[in-house]
A and B are shown apart, each in its own frame.
Chain A
Amino acid sequence: MTNLLTPTKETASANSTLGAALDRIDGPKKVTGAATYAYEHAVEHVTYAFPVQSTIAKGRIAAIDARAALALPGVLAVLSHENAPRLVATDGAEMAIFQSDAVAYHGQFVAAVVAETIETARQAAQLVTVHYEQQPHEAVLRAESADLYKPDHVNPFYETDTESGDIETALAQAAVTLDQTYTTPAEHNNPLEPHTTLAVWSDDGAHLTLYDANQGAYRIRDTVAQAFGLAPEQVRVISPYIGGAFGSKARVHPQVVLAVMAAQMVRRPAKVALTRQQMFSVAGYRTPTIQRIRLAAGADGKLTAIAHDVIEQTATIQEFAEQTALATRMMYAAPNRRTTHRLARLDMPVPAFMRAPGECPGMFALESAMDEMALACGLDPIEFRLRNEPQLDPETGRPFSTRGLVACLQEGARRFGWQQRDPRPGLRRDGRWLVGTGVAASTYPARRRPSSARVRVESDGRYTVAIAAADLGTGAWTALTQIAADALDVPLARVHLEIGDTALPAAQIAGGSMGTTSWGAAIVEAAQALRKRLHEEYHDIVPAAGLEATAETGDNPAAQQFAMHAYGAQFAEVRVNRDTGEVRVPRLLGVFAVGRIINAKTARSQLLGGMTMGLSMALHEESVLDPQFGDYVTHDFASYHIATNADVGAVEVAWIDEDDRHVSPMGAKGIGEIGIVGTAAAIANAVYHATGIRVRDLPITLDKLLPMLS
Chain B
Amino acid sequence: MNPFHYERADNAAAAVALLAQSPTGTFLGGGTNLVDLMKLGVAQPELLVDVSRLPYDRIEPLVDGGLCIGAMVRNSDLAANRTVRTRYPMLAQALLAGASGQLRNLATTGGNLLQRTRCVYFQDASKPCNKRVPGSGCPARAGYHRNLAILGASESCIATHPSDMAVAMIALDATVRVLGPHGERIIPLTEFYRLPGDEPQRETVLEHGDLLTAVDLPPLPFAVHSRYRKVRDRASYAFALVSVAAALDLDDDGTIRDARIALGGVAPVPWRARRAEEMLRGAPATEATFRRAAEAELAAAQPLPGNAFKLPLARNTLVRTLLDLTRDVTDVTEGATR
A interface, CB within 8 angstroms of B? 53, 55, 119, 122-123, 126, 277, 432, 579-582, 584, 619-620, 624, 626-629, 633-636, 638-639, 641, 643-647, 701-703, 706-707, 710
Contacts and interface: CB of A to CB of B under 8 A. Distances in A.
B121 interface: yes
Contacts of B1: 119, 122-123
Given A579-B316, A628-B139, A638 B118 contact: yes
A627 B143 CA distance: 8
A633 B309 contact: no
Given A123-B2, A579-B317, A629-B139, A647 B124 contact: no
Given A633-B121, A633-B143, A706 B233 contact: no
Interface residues on B, range: 35 or more
A639 B3 contact: no
- Summarize B's interface: helix, strand, loop or mixed: loop
Contacts of A277: 40, 124
Nearest to A639: B120
29 contacts: A119-B1, A122-B39, A126-B2, A579-B319, A580-B313, A580-B316, A582-B231, A626-B139, A626-B143, A628-B142, A629-B127, A633-B121, A633-B143, A634-B120, A635-B124, A638-B238, A639-B118, A639-B120, A641-B233, A641-B234, A644-B234, A644-B236, A646-B234, A646-B236, A702-B309, A703-B146, A703-B313, A706-B309, A707-B309
Interface string B1-15: 111000000000000
A492 to B, nearest CB: 37
B257 to A, nearest CB: 26
A35 B220 CA distance: 55
Interface in B139-186: 139, 142-144, 146
Nearest to A633: B120
B21 interface: no
Contact of A634 (B125, B144, B241): B144
B3 to A, nearest CB: 7
B284 interface: no
Given A122-B1, A633-B120, A647 B236 contact: yes
Contacts of A580: 231, 313, 316-317, 320
B56 interface: no
A277 B139 CA distance: 19
Nearest to A580: B231
Contact of B233 (A635, A646, A701): A701
Nearest to B142: A628
A645 B231 contact: no
Q: Which 5 A-B pairs have the closest CB atoms?
A: A646-B236, A703-B309, A646-B235, A579-B316, A626-B143
A438 to B, nearest CB: 19
B41 interface: yes
B235 A644 contact: yes
A702 B234 CA distance: 10
B237 A702 contact: no
Contact of B143 (A53, A581, A628): A628
A646 B144 contact: no
Contacts of A701: 233
Given A626-B143, A633-B124, A702-B313, A619 B118 contact: no
B312 A710 contact: yes
Contacts of A579: 316-317, 319-320
Contacts of A636: 123
Most chain A CB neighbours (cut-off 10 Å) among B40, B124, B234: B234
B231 A641 contact: no
Contacts of A582: 231
Contacts of A432: 320
Interface in B208-237: 231, 233-237
B145 to A, nearest CB: 10
Contacts of A703: 146, 309, 313
Contacts of B124: 277, 633, 635
- Summarize A's interface: helix, strand, loop or mixed: loop
A644 B237 CA distance: 7
B102 interface: no
Interface string B274-312: 000000000000000000000000000000000001001
B311 to A, nearest CB: 10
Contacts of B118: 638-639
Nearest to B2: A123
B235 A647 contact: yes
Contact of A55 (B126, B237, B309, B317): B126
A647 B238 CA distance: 12
Contacts of B271: none
Given A579-B317, A633-B143, A706 B234 contact: no
A620 B233 contact: yes
A643 B319 CA distance: 28
Contacts of B142: 628
A706 B313 CA distance: 8
Contacts of A628: 139, 142-143
Interface in B321-338: none
Given A635-B120, A647-B235, A707-B309, 9 more contacts: A123-B1, A123-B2, A580-B316, A580-B317, A626-B143, A628-B139, A633-B120, A643-B234, A644-B234
A635 B41 CA distance: 15
A476 to B, nearest CB: 30
B332 to A, nearest CB: 20
Contacts of B320: 432, 579-580
B239 interface: yes
Contacts of A55: 126-127
Contacts of A581: 313
A710 B309 CA distance: 13
B235 A584 contact: yes
A45 B28 CA distance: 33
Contacts of A710: 312, 316
Interface in B114-134: 118, 120-121, 123-127
Nearest to B3: A123
B288 to A, nearest CB: 15
A471 to B, nearest CB: 28
B112 to A, nearest CB: 16
Contacts of B233: 620, 641, 701-702
A330 to B, nearest CB: 34
A706 B312 contact: yes
Interface in B235-252: 235-239, 241
B330 to A, nearest CB: 17
A639 B148 CA distance: 12
Nearest to B233: A641
B25 to A, nearest CB: 18
A645 B238 CA distance: 12
A579 B317 CA distance: 7
Contact of A647 (B39, B125, B234, B312): B234
Interface in B31-59: 39-41
Contacts of A53: 126
Contact of B231 (A626, A639, A702): A702
B107 to A, nearest CB: 14
Contacts of A646: 234-237
Contacts of A624: 144, 146
A645 B3 CA distance: 37
A321 B40 CA distance: 34
Contacts of A635: 120, 124
A623 B123 CA distance: 16
Nearest to A642: B234
Nearest to A120: B3
A643 B232 CA distance: 12
Contacts of B234: 619-620, 641, 643-644, 646-647
Contact of A707 (B241, B312, B317): B312
B130 to A, nearest CB: 15
Contacts of B41: 126
Contacts of B316: 579-580, 706, 710
Nearest to B310: A703
Nearest to A624: B144
Most chain A CB neighbours (cut-off 10 Å) among B40, B316, B320: B316
